[in-house]
Amino acid sequence: MKCKKIMILVVMLCVSLLTAPFAFAQDTTASQGGHFKAVADERQLETLNSLYNTDISFGELIETVYPEALKHIPEPALKDMYNTKVIWPDEDTRSSIETTSQQADINPRQVILVGHESNISAGQTINFDSGSRVWLPTPFYRIPYMSALSTLERQGVGIVASALEFDTDIYGISASGSYRNPPSGNYRTVGYHAGTYPPNHTPPGYSKTTATGWRAAP
C-alpha cells in the first residue's frame, strides 16, 4: 500500500512538470573547466544540415560540427557521447521528462528526474532555446555532465541557426540563440539533450530529443 502511494505521488509530480514552464539555468559567460558554449557559423550550419537524419552518435556530431568543444569534455562524458545515437526529430517529438533510479545504500531507491524542453518565440527576431533541468531528488541535485544542442529549423529549408552548451557538475543547462529578420516561413526549435548520471545508475545517462510546434514568422 505504501509503495502504491509513492508511485501515485511520482506520477502526479511528472504530470505537473510536463504542464509547468521550465526554468533552465542561463549562463551568458563562458567559464573554465568543463563549461563550453558556441553559436554555429554558416559552415557549421551547412555541416549540421548535411548530417541531418544520418546514423551518427552524439559524439560524432559534436566532433564534426564543433570540434573545438572536444577538449572541454571530460573523458567519461565523451565516451558516453560516442556511445549515444542521435535521435532525429519527427512531427510527434515534444518536450519530455526522463526518470532513472539507482539502488542507494539506504531505502527507498533514489530517483533522479530530469526534464527536457525546447522553446521558440517567433517575430522579427526569433528567439530559441533548448535545455534540461534536474527536478528530483532536489532541483539543485548535480549530475556529472549535461549538454544541450539547440537548432532552429525553417520548414522546407533546414537548420538556419544553432547553439551548443555543456557543463560538468551541473543541475540545469540551456542552449539559446536568436535569428534576426527571418524570411517568411514556418520555424521550430529542436533540442538534442545528453547527460550522464552519477556512478552505479541504470541507465548510466540519457539522450533525448525535444521539439516545439511550427510557428509562422515574421
Spatial contact of 161 and 63, defined as CB atoms under 8 Å apart: no
d(CA 136, CA 119): 22
Is there a contact between 211 and 118 (Cβ–Cβ < 8 Å)? yes
d(CA 81, CA 83): 5
Cell of 118: 525546447
The full set of domains in the chain, from first to last, is 35-217 (2.60.40)
Residue 152: Cβ within 10 Å count: 28
139 Cβ contact partners less than 8 Å away, ≥ 6 residues apart = 133, 171, 172
pLDDT per residue rounded down to tens, the chain (218 residues) = 444 443 334 434 444 443 344 433 333 334 345 788 999 999 999 999 999 999 999 999 999 999 999 888 888 888 888 988 888 887 677 777 666 666 554 445 678 999 999 999 988 999 999 999 999 999 999 999 999 999 999 999 999 999 999 999 999 999 999 999 999 999 999 999 989 898 888 788 888 899 999 999 87
The predicted pLDDT at position 108 comes to 57
pLDDT of residue 101: 64
Q: What is the pLDDT of residue 5?
A: 40
Say if CB 168 and CB 77 are below 8 A apart.
yes
**Nearest by Cα to 69 from 120, 60, 184:** 60
CA distance 190 to 90: 10
Handedness of CA 57, 115, 141, 30 (dihedral sign): positive
Q: What is the pLDDT of residue 121?
A: 94
pTM: predicted TM-score of the whole model, two decimal places: 0.80
DSSP the chain: -HHHHHHHHHHHHHHHHHHS--------S--STT-EEEE--HHHHHHHHHHTTS--BHHHHHHHH-GGGGGGS-HHHHHHHHTSB-----TT---EEEEEEE--SSSS-EEEEEEEEEEEE-SSEEEEEEEEEEEES-TT--EEEEEEEEEEEETTTEEEEEEEEEEEEESEEEEEEEEESPPSEEEEEEEEEEEEPSTT-BSSEEEEEEEPPPEEE-
